[in-house]
Structure formats: C-alpha cells, structure tokens
Amino acid sequence: MIAGIGTDLVEISRIKDKIERNEAFKNHVFTDGEIAYCDDKKNPAMHYAARWAVKEAFLKAYGVKFIGNQRLPEIETIKDEHGNPDIQLSGETLEGFKEKGFVFAHVSISHTDTHAMAYVIIEK
C-alpha cells in the first residue's frame, strides 16, 4: 500500500552555488559515498542536485516538514544491484521509517542541463 508520495525539482545552479560558496555544505548534507560518487562525475553539481532532490522528495513522502541538515546524510542515494537509484536510510530516519510501518521507498531521478528532479514513493 502506498503510504506517501513526494517529488522535488531543483535548479542545478542553486546547488552548485551552495557548494562553491561553502565547501562544508557537502559534508552537512551528503554522505561520504554520495560525495565520492558526485565528485567523480564530469558535472558534479548535476549529481549533487539530483541527490538533494531525492532527500527533499523522500521527506515529502515521509511526511516531514523539516528534518534539519544535520540528519540529511541519513537519506543516502545509492545504486542497487542493477545500477538503478535506490535509497539507503540510517540513524533516526531509519528508526522512524520502521516505526511508521514503512517497508520500502522507490525512487526515480532525472536531470537536464539546468534542473534535477526526484520522485519517491513509500510503501507500507
């Protein structure tokens, strides 16, 4: 049963600007794995923006209005065994996910030269 749906659209330039103005932003928002993945790409900002969109879309599907940057790394975008995007939760976010009876989060990511978007469906 679908318990939540969330989507987010972000301008890549907005995330690029945040990273360029404050390098610490990456460590407050993204996991080491996400940072390594994005920094290895030709256009890192595009991939950071997509991961930002996943976090925002997840929070909307989860039903949280604000989680705080200190917990955003608990929502990590990874690749599944087929190379498709997936969400890996940790910490309090994972605990809350289980407490609410949620069992799975589906994610889809897309981007253009200027925007990144994510769509998340949470199942109960």
pLDDT of 70 over the 70 cut: no
> Considering Cα of 46, then 51, then 52, then 58, what sign does the dihedral take?
positive
CA distance 79 to 65: 26
The chain-wide mean pLDDT, for the chain, equals 94
Instruction: Please say whether the structural domain 2-123 has been given the CATH code 3.90.470.20.
Output: yes
**For position 68, what pLDDT does the model report?**
60
pTM (two decimals): 0.93
Span 88-124, pLDDT tens digits: 999 999 999 999 999 999 999 999 999 999 999 999 9
For residues 7-28, average pLDDT: 95
Domain locations in the chain as residue ranges: 2-123
**For position 65, what pLDDT does the model report?**
65
Q: In what order do the strands lie in the sheet with 104-111?
A: 2-11, 115-123, 104-111
Report the percent of the chain where pLDDT is more than 90.
90
**For position 71, what pLDDT does the model report?**
84
Q: How confident is the model at residue 64 (pLDDT cuts 50, 70, 90)?
A: confident
